[in-house]
Each structure stands twice: as C-alpha cells, then as structure tokens.
C-alpha cells in the first residue's frame, strides 16, 4: 500500500500532535498522558491511527490505572513484557471496538486497514511464535471470519467474549488467562494465579525502584525504535542503490549519546570480562578497514555479569527457560545427535593416533632394500613409525545472535549445544561465543571458554537474538583468540543466517563508512573467511537462516557449509566435516 504524500511531508512534531489530539478526542480526556512514537507512522498510518483510537477508547470506557497496575505487577513477577503487551492490545481491542463503532462510524474502516497492514508488514512476527500466531489468527478472524485451529480458537473465543464487557477486572482476568495459557503455563503454579499478582503491594514496587525502571525502559524502548526505523531504511537501501549512495542510512550520534553508550551496552549485555584498557586495545587492533568506526565489547552475558535487574535481564532469564524446555522436548533426538557426533570424533582421533609406517632416508634400516646400495640412486632404505598427536585440535563455535535469529533461537542454541557436548565428550578444546551489534558496539558474548569443563555447556541455553550483526568483524575478533592458541590445527564453526546486516551508527567526526549490508557485507565476511583459511584455519558455516539467503551463505563459506533442514540429521552433516578435518 502506497503512502499518501501528505504523510511523508509532515514532520515529527506535526505527526505527534495529530496522534495525541486523536487520542485525546476519543478519550474525552485532554489530560491523558500518552507517549506517541512518530516512527510508527512511517510504517503504516492506519496502524498508528487505530492504535491512538484504541488507546483513547480504552481510557474512556475502562479504568486505565487499574489495568496499568496489573501490567506492572505481572511484569514485576517475571512476565515477558513484549508478549504480555501484545495480548493486552488484543484484549483492549476486543473490549472497545464495538463501543467505538456505535459512536464513530469511521472506526471499522480504519481498524480494517490497520489489521490488513499489520498482516502484510508483520508477517514474519505473526508466524514465528505461538503468541504471534494467536495475534495473526485474531486479525484474520476479525477481517475474514476465518476460524483457527482448535487450541488457538479457544483462546480467540475467550478474547472476543470481551466485546460486551464494561468491567476492567474482566479484561484483566482474560489477559492473565491468555498469557498463562499461550506463553507461560507454569506462571500459575509459581504464583498461584491472578490473586497473587494483584497482591503485589505499592510498597514492594517502590522498594524495587519501579518508577525509575519504567522510565529507563521507556527511554531504551525509544532508542530501540529509533534503531529499528533506521534498520528498515537499511533493508530498503539494499534494493535501492541510488539511495544507498546518498548515505541516507547513516545515523549520527551526538556527544551526549556517545557518553551514555558504554553504560547502555553494559546494562543490556553485561559487564566486560576484560579490563577496560585491554578491551580498548583489542578494539583498536581489530576494528580496522570496513570496521574502523566500530568497538568491541567482550562479556559473559547479562545473567552472568548483570549491572541490575531490568527487562533485558528478565527477558534473558525467560528465554533460557524456553530454550531448556525445547531441549527437554527434543531430549531423545539431541542425545542421539550428541552421541553420534562424539563417536565420529572419537573414531577419527583414534585413527589419527594409529601408527603409520613410512620409508625415508633415515630410521630403521630395511634389509630387503640393501640391494639398492651402489646400484640405484634410491636413498629410501629406512623406515620409521609416525604417531600423530590427537590433542592438537581446538575448535571455536561462533553463533550469530542478532535479532533475525529470534524466531529460531531455541533451535540455534540446541545446535550449538550438540556440537559443544560432542566436542567435550571427545576431549577437544573449544570455546563458544555469540555475537551481535548494537549502535557501534559488536558484542562478543562468551558462553564457555576453552579450558572449562563439560558443565559449562549448559550456559549456551542463555542464547537469544538481539539487534544487528556485523559478521566480518565478529569472525575477525573470534579468530584473534583462536589463532593464539597453542594447538596446531584450528577449526572455526560459524552458525549464522547468511545475512550480515548492521545499522551504521557513527560517533561525531567519524569517517561515515558505507552501510554494512547487502553485497558489501557479504563480500567483507567472505574476505575474512578466505583470510582465515589462507592462514591455515578451517572454517565451516552452519546455515541457520531462511532459504532465500542460502546463496549468500554459499558465497561466504564456499563448499564448506552445512544446511541442516532437520535437526535429526545434524550430527551426520557436521560430523562429516569435522571428521575430514581431523583426518587430513
């Protein structure tokens, strides 16, 4: 759907005023405190308009403070904010839209167009998770009266039943039941239902410094929105060469933002495990060429080196629980893959240590070759045994932890865990790292280090996707440590979606390099892989993305890449490559 010119020409202030005025008009309360995100306009004016109508309508017909109080208490007890708010929007819509229709005949048309745009623009989000599917089915049922599968339809029936209610508590009760049913069935076991949520006192929230927390999250949310907006422009830039040359996708930060950047990174990704001077030295040494305006941040993750509890740490904790649940659901397949891969590695190492007899010009003399003396120029009259060392291998597993992995983060974590467990069982030294890029920081998240025992492998399930990915820099940073290892044979395994893509955020007075996406990013990452291979490091790419990005993965990793469609075949595919490296 094309945007009307008038919306493109309006500036941010005018857009914000228009949305706020609409919300105030619908609610009848011109003192209503409402934060408006003008960036949503650029996505779809109908989504932005209907959101304002819905928020205003809810404030008019229901007790907004009571509803907000429930949301705060639910999140305080560990609910995942983004999922809770998605379901809250559905419940609010069901509760108000028919009431608004009776008073404002234009509302159904705006609602319809907003739902159509959401289905079109957010297709990936609406199909990548169970809660996303519930939202998608709600939109399709509202538009086309389409029935969903039995389990989802039961949830939809509960939500749509709110259309006749005027009781805020009924909306809260429905939202709580839907969240627990679809996303977190264990919540009621842990907190004994809605009553315990509502019993959280204002004093407890005050002691938790909740006001500061909410304000901080609001600021961070606005920063994320800004980044997401520019990221959308970056994707557009891949297709529009002319706009890319104009440099319209470069976001410049002011001095104040730069000063806060390090604190923000630590707050959301954890403190660095390196001393500040060492981290700065590595950044200067590694961040060159296409990455000259970047920085590196080495961390053990927000759960291991937390600055303070916030929504990001709660999200990380919740995702770990989900990842472990996926492991439990796939326990038999995972165990089988680990055992098969470990056996492949062990057999290859045993074969490697078997003695090999070769002839040469020194060693133990062979009497059957003495006839050559004086008769031929053959000097290979001796034989010797060669035993290769089976402990001269080291493996680095590097995982793309960008936001594009969110839809499959549990599967990616499971794949990395299978590799790590098999390497541990085979006695091969290994390190597992994840990487993502936010602002101009590429975050290198360490899950386990080379010398740690097998018990450290479980930390891999703390993996989650966030922000962007600068693959070339991450590979260079991982290789810096790998190449310093004493082992003779070095292997790097990269689990990625084959789509390097990073929003460029530059400090004042920087050189403003090209946007790191599309052809430019693929070539840079492929160059880093070739450089490593030329220095004797074996590199395997394990593809974890969408089939449409498969060609980019092939260009980056050449013939040494694995595309695993079925987790049950994971060990066979990866095992063949590792066996080849061990026996060469």
Q: Is 428 exposed, middle or buried (0-12, 13-18, 19+ CB in 10 A)?
A: buried
Largest CA distance in the chain: 113
Residue 4 has pLDDT above 80, yes or no: no
pLDDT value of residue 255: 57
Confidence band of 237 (pLDDT split at 50, 70, 90): very low
Q: How far apart are CA 104 and CA 111, in angstroms?
A: 12
- 80-89, 206-215, 219-228, 261-270, range with the lowest pLDDT: 219-228
- With 60 as the cut, is the pLDDT of residue 210 above it? no
Pick the residue with more confidence: 407 or 209? 407
Instruction: State the pLDDT at residue 563.
Output: 82
pLDDT at 229: 40
Residue 259 has pLDDT above 50, yes or no: yes
In this prediction, residues 372-396 reach a mean pLDDT of 73
pLDDT at 175: 94
pLDDT at 580 over 60: yes
Residue 127 predicted with pLDDT over 80? no
Determine how β-strand 356-360 pairs with β-strand 382-386. Answer: antiparallel
pLDDT at 31: 57
Higher per-residue pLDDT: 255 or 400: 400
Rounded CA-CA distance 313/319 in Å is: 10
The H-assigned helical ranges of 240-330 are 241-245, 255-269, 276-286, 311-329
Q: What angle do CA 77, 82, 84 make, to 5 degrees?
A: 55
Highest mean pLDDT among 13-22, 241-250, 391-400: 391-400
pLDDT at residue 35 above 60?
no
How high does pLDDT run on average in the chain?
80
What band does 477 get if pLDDT is binned at 50, 70 and 90?
A: very high
Confidence at residue 492, expressed as pLDDT on a 0 to 100 scale: 95
Question: What is the 3-class SS of 32-89, one letter each residue?
Answer: CCCCCCCHHHHHCHHHHHHHHHHHHHHHHHCCHHHHHHHHHHHHHCCCCHHHHHHHHH
Residue predicted with more confidence, 6 or 319: 319
Give the list of residues 6+ apart from residue 197 with CB closer than 8 angstroms, or none: 70, 73, 74, 77, 176, 191
Q: What is the pLDDT of residues 162-195, one digit of tens each?
A: 998 999 999 999 999 999 888 887 777 677 788 8
Kindly indicate the confidence band of residue 454, based on its pLDDT and cuts at 50, 70 and 90.
Answer: very high
- Burial of 455 from C-beta contacts in 10 A (0-12 / 13-18 / 19+): exposed
Alpha carbon of residue 582 to chain centroid: 32
Mean pLDDT throughout 208-237? 42
Check residue 103 and give its pLDDT: 83
pLDDT score of 481 more than 90: yes
**Element (H or E) spanning 494, and its range?**
strand 489-496
Of residues 123 and 244, the one with the higher pLDDT is 123
Over range 256-274, report the average pLDDT: 81
**What pLDDT band is residue 3 in, cutting at 50, 70 and 90?**
very low
pLDDT of residue 159: 94
Token duo for residue 562: 């694995």
pLDDT in tens, 532-547: 999 999 999 888 777 7
Question: Coil, strand, or helix at residue 149?
Answer: coil
| pLDDT at 286 > cutoff 80 | yes
- What residues pair up with 434 in beta bridges, in sequence order? 399, 445
| Percent of the chain at pLDDT exceeding 70 | 77
> In the prediction, which pLDDT does 227 show?
38
Q: Burial level of 33, CB count in 10 A (0-12/13-18/19+)? A: exposed
Split at pLDDT 50, 70, 90, the class of 436 is very high
DSSP tag of 502: B
Identify the pLDDT of residue 5.
37
Residue 304 per-residue DSSP state: T
At 1 the pLDDT is: 39
Q: Who wins on pLDDT, 225 or 354?
A: 354
What is the per-residue pLDDT for 83? Answer: 86
Please check whether residue 471 is in contact with residue 525, taking contact to mean a CB–CB distance below 8 angstroms: yes
Alpha-carbon distance of 299 to 91, in angstroms, equals 39
C-beta atoms surrounding 252 within 10 Å: 13
Handedness of CA 47, 52, 53, 54 (dihedral sign): positive
Helices (H) and strands (E) in the chain, counts: 25, 12
- The predicted model scores a pTM of 0.56
Of the listed ranges 66-75, 83-92, 233-242, the one predicted with least confidence: 233-242
């Amino acid at each position: 759907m094309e945007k009307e010119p008038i919306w493109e020409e309006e500036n941010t202030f005018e857009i914000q005023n228009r949305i706020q005025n609409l919300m105030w008009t619908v609610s009848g309360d011109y003192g209503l405190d409402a934060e408006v995100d003008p960036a949503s306009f650029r996505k779809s004016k109908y989504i932005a308009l209907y959101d304002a109508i819905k928020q205003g309508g809810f404030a008019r017909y229901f007790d907004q403070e009571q509803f907000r109080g429930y949301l705060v208490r639910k999140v305080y007890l560990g609910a995942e904010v983004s999922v809770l708010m998605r379901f809250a929007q559905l419940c609010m819509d069901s509760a108000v839209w028919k009431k608004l229709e009776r008073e404002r005949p234009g509302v159904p048309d705006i609602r319809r167009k907003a739902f159509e745009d959401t289905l079109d623009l957010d297709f990936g989000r609406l199909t990548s998770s169970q809660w996303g599917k519930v939202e998608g089915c709600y939109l399709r049922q509202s538009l086309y009266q389409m029935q969903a599968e039995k389990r989802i339809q039961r949830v939809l029936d509960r939500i749509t039943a709110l259309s006749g209610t005027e009781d805020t508590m009924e909306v809260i009760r429905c939202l709580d039941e839907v969240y627990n049913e679809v996303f977190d069935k264990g919540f009621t076991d842990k907190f004994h239902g809605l009553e315990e949520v509502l019993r959280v006192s204002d004093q407890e929230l005050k002691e938790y410094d909740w006001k500061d927390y909410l304000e901080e999250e609001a600021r961070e949310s606005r920063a994320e929105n800004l980044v997401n907006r520019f990221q959308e422009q970056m994707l557009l830039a891949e297709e529009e060469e002319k706009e890319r040359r104009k440099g319209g996708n470069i976001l410049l930060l002011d001095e104040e933002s730069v000063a806060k950047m390090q604190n923000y990174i630590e707050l959301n990704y954890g403190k660095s495990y390196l001393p500040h001077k060492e981290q700065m030295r590595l950044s200067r040494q590694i961040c060159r060429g296409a990455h000259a305006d970047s920085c590196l941040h080495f961390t053990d993750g927000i759960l291991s080196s937390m600055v303070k509890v916030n929504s990001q740490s709660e999200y990380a904790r919740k995702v770990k629980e989900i990842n472990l649940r996926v492991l439990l659901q796939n326990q038999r397949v995972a165990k089988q893959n680990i055992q098969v891969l470990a056996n492949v590695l062990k057999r290859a190492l045993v074969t490697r240590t078997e003695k090999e007899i070769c002839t040469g010009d020194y060693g133990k003399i062979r009497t059957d070759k003495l006839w050559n003396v004086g008769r031929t120029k053959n000097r290979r009259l001796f034989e010797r045994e060669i035993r290769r060392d089976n402990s001269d291998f080291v493996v680095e597993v590097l995982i793309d932890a960008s936001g594009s992995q969110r839809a499959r983060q549990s599967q990616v974590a499971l794949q990395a865990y299978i590799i790590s467990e098999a390497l541990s069982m085979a006695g091969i030294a290994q390190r597992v790292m994840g990487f993502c890029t936010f602002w101009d920081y590429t975050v290198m998240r360490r899950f386990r280090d080379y010398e740690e025992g097998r018990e450290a492998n479980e930390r891999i399930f703390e993996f989650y996707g966030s922000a962007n990915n600068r693959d070339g820099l991450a590979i260079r940073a991982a290789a810096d440590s790998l190449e310093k290892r004493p082992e003779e044979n070095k292997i790097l395994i990269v689990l990625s979606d084959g789509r390097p893509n990073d929003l460029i955020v530059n400090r004042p007075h920087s050189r403003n390099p090209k946007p790191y996406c599309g052809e430019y990013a693929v070539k840079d990452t492929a160059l880093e892989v070739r450089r490593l291979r030329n220095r004797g490091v074996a590199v395997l790419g394990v593809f974890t993305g969408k089939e449409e990005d498969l060609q980019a993965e092939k260009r980056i990793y050449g013939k040494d890449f694995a595309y695993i469609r079925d987790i049950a075949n994971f060990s066979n595919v990866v095992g063949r490559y590792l066996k080849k490296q061990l026996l060469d």
